[in-house]
Amino acid sequence: MCSGRVDLAFVLKAFLNGMDGVFIGGCRLGECNYITHGNYHALNMVLLCKRIMKYIGINPDRLKIEFMTSGEGILFTQIMNQFSKKIKEIGPLGVSEGIELGQLRSKLRDVIKLVPYIKMAKREKLEARLEDPEQYESHFTDEEIDSLFKDVPAYYIDPEKCQACMICFRRCPVGAIIGAKNTIHVIDQEKCIKCGTCLDVCPSRFGAVRKIVGESPPPPIPEDQRVIVRKAKAS
């Protein structure tokens, strides 16, 4: 599998499942057989993930990426031996970090839920081709990650503008929108992954979906007030 197919969520789920370390091996940069050059994306993903790990309190050294050819078996063995030794020195996940495993898993679940939002917010940097290793350290910053999680958006459907057209209901990738024909739609904030699909697909003539940053969305309209009464057309 191309290293570019390794999603941010895969790495975070590995730690959620109790892995002490995650290693990703890819083809050498600039030598990809495909025009996508997915190994650059994998590199950017790892650099981002390391910053996120640091943000939630996980030692970033638990994640490693290396690039080599399929014929470099000796190099692969050396790298894996070094990485295994490093992970043993760090110790079991959560222990050296001083974080109770249940608390750590809770943090990981929260971040995994936000992966679609994170990938959209950092799409430009995730698509960059870093040619110089000296760029790696500064590609993502601690301040950038702090802002990323501080400014997590919420989406809200204005009951005064919703026309129950069912478009956002059908297009939501995680079924976070509650709605039916002639019924004002509401967003289940617990299920919402902050992808913004509802905002993108809401017809501009309605403009019912709002993006909210820095504050909590209003509570949903009560169920008994969601029915839309259509006016009968004059004959």
Q: Is residue 94 part of a domain?
A: yes
Q: What is the reported pLDDT for 98?
A: 95
Q: Which of 122, 150, 178 is the last residue of a domain?
A: 150
With a CB cutoff of 8 Å and minimum separation 6, the contacts of 64 are 21, 22, 23, 24, 46, 83, 86
* Below-70 pLDDT ranges, the chain: 1, 232-235
Based on the domain organization, do 130 and 177 belong to the same domain? Answer: no
Cα radius of gyration (the chain): 22
With a CB cutoff of 8 Å and minimum separation 6, the contacts of 172 are 197, 198
Strand partners of residue 187: 177
Based on the domain organization, do 14 and 67 belong to the same domain? Answer: yes
pLDDT tens, residue by residue, 7-66:
999 999 999 999 999 999 988 888 877 777 889 999 999 999 999 999 999 999 999 999
Rounded to whole angstroms, the Cα distance separating 9 from 123 reads 15
Short-list 164, 218, 167, CA closest to 189 = 218
Q: What's the total number of domains in the chain?
A: 2
Range of the domain at 180: 154-225
Q: Which of 129, 150, 171 is the last residue of a domain?
A: 150
Q: What is the reported pLDDT for 71?
A: 86
Q: Is residue 67 part of a domain?
A: yes
Based on the domain organization, do 98 and 181 belong to the same domain? Answer: no
Q: What is the reported pLDDT for 232?
A: 66
For residue 174, report the phi and psi dihedrals to the nearest 5 degrees: -125, 10
Based on the domain organization, do 110 and 140 belong to the same domain? Answer: yes
Q: Is residue 230 part of a domain?
A: no
With a CB cutoff of 8 Å and minimum separation 6, the contacts of 146 are 55
With a CB cutoff of 8 Å and minimum separation 6, the contacts of 33 are 27
Q: Which of 119, 150, 181 is the last residue of a domain?
A: 150
Residue 165 belongs to a domain with what CATH number? 3.30.70.20
With a CB cutoff of 8 Å and minimum separation 6, the contacts of 60 are 50, 51, 53, 54
Based on the domain organization, do 139 and 118 belong to the same domain? Answer: yes
